[in-house]
């Protein structure tokens, strides 16, 4: 069972030498079979909770790239 994910990504070119962008991705946990039983309904509350997955900004220049925040790992 996969959780629902909501992703906002943006990027803008400031000039010929600088491009900046960022990503915000959150996760909304779905009900799974561990919390639902047949005939008894859900045992979880109806409150929606958001968990951050990615929150990062970056700058790309002709000299290199800089990433700051929580994003993909180097092994991904």
- What are 3-59's pLDDT values in tens digits? 888 999 999 999 999 999 999 999 888 766 565 556 555 555 566 778 888 899 999
Q: Is pTM, for the whole model, over 0.85?
A: no
Residue 32 CA to residue 70 CA, distance in Å, equals 27
Residue 13 CA to residue 68 CA, distance in Å, equals 18
pLDDT at position 16 is 92
Structure tokens at 64: 């290199």
């Amino acid at each position: 069972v996969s959780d629902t994910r909501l992703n906002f990504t943006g990027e803008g070119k400031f000039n010929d030498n600088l491009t900046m962008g960022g990503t915000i991705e959150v996760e909304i946990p779905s009900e799974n079979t561990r919390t639902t039983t047949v005939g008894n309904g859900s045992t979880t509350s109806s409150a929606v909770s958001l968990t951050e997955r990615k929150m990062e900004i970056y700058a790309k220049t002709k000299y290199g790239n800089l990433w700051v925040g929580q994003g993909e790992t180097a092994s991904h």
